[in-house]
Amino acid sequence: MRDCDIICIGEPLVEFNQISGSDWRQGFGGDVSNVAIAAARLGAASAIATRLGDDGFGAELRALWEHEGVDASCVVTDATAPTGLYFVRHDADGHGFEYRRAGSAASLLTADALPIEGIKGAQFTHVSGITLAISANAREAGLESMRMARAAGRRASFDPNLRLALWSLEDARRVIRQALGLADVALPGLDDARQLTGLDAPEEIVRAFHDMGPDIVALTLGEEGALLGHAGTITHVPGVPVAAVDATGAGDCFDGAFLSRLTAGDTPEAACRYAVVASALSVAGYGAVAPLPTAAEVAAAVSE
């Protein structure tokens, strides 16, 4: 594979989003796949390393990555395990998820099958808590990819993306702490971070994440924007008012935008402001991938 800005390690999924009643719209998701696509749409060279089932859904994901310009040359097809699925339902409380991912091809990812040269050639290796939760071998693969990146003088980024349907809070806290000790950049969401740390105040959470290892912490606050911790300072980046339709994948969009701007040479503060705008634009439509903005759309919104 070619050298890239960001390589994402983890599980892609096919999405079915409930528009109304029995009307479902097929799309695509999986947090690290969303990050790779978001980064590519914003001008970064991104790649994904994972496993897909030898099925129609796996073929559709490959076609998606080709269309979006995401390097999928490190993706393995598994003849015996399926591509994972998930369903998004909407109600007055927001959106809820149901998954069909047990035994998925991506959950069979192993450390000895990681694309070593791809990781060495990427500015960032990006891993999520979901990668670490779907199976013991995927957990070790995710952690090892971060070790490889650091050993090669590259950087590792980590989004905790806590999913307590996949593991206990006790296990999540223990393993995520390991991952944060390997991360240069942490990208937690506020709700997840509160559960992981037991803290409430965003500033205290940022400091707690710094204490676990990362130099840069960007804590997303939903419509309130983000809180950036870097070089001994904590800065609030306010949110952008939008008419939200579906927040699925907004955090992944933030991650892809933030990392894409860091690889382009932006300061963490400038990258965070850009990512807040990009993630706000991403909630204007249904699904994790379809509403992800392009660089031109973000630029237009920034100029406004």
**pTM to 2 decimals?**
0.94
Please give the pLDDT value at position 163. Answer: 93
Please give the pLDDT value at position 288. Answer: 85
Is the model's pLDDT at 223 over the cut of 80? yes
253-294 residue pLDDT tens: 999 999 999 999 999 999 999 999 999 999 988 888 889 999
Q: 75 phi and psi, to 5 degrees?
A: -90, 130
- Catalytic annotation, pick one of 71, 252, 255, 266: 252
**Sign of the torsion angle spanned by Cα atoms 236, 242, 243, 247:** negative
**Parallel/antiparallel/unpaired status of strands 4-9 and 46-49:** parallel
Residue 252 is a catalytic residue: yes
Total of domains in the chain: 1
Q: What is the DSSP letter of 17?
A: E
Is the model's pLDDT at 109 over the cut of 90? yes
Q: In what order do the strands lie in the sheet with 13-20?
A: 23-29, 13-20, 85-91, 94-100
9-13, 132-136, 228-232, 246-250, range with the lowest pLDDT: 246-250
**Where in the sequence is the domain holding 231, given as residue range(s)?**
4-303
Is the model's pLDDT at 302 over the cut of 90? no
Is the model's pLDDT at 1 over the cut of 80? no
205-216 residue pLDDT tens: 999 999 999 999
Distance CA 110, CA 99 (A): 22
CB atoms within 10 A of CB 302: 12
Residue 219 sits in a domain of what CATH number? 3.40.1190.20
| Residue 296 pLDDT grade (very low, low, confident, very high; cuts 50, 70, 90) | very high
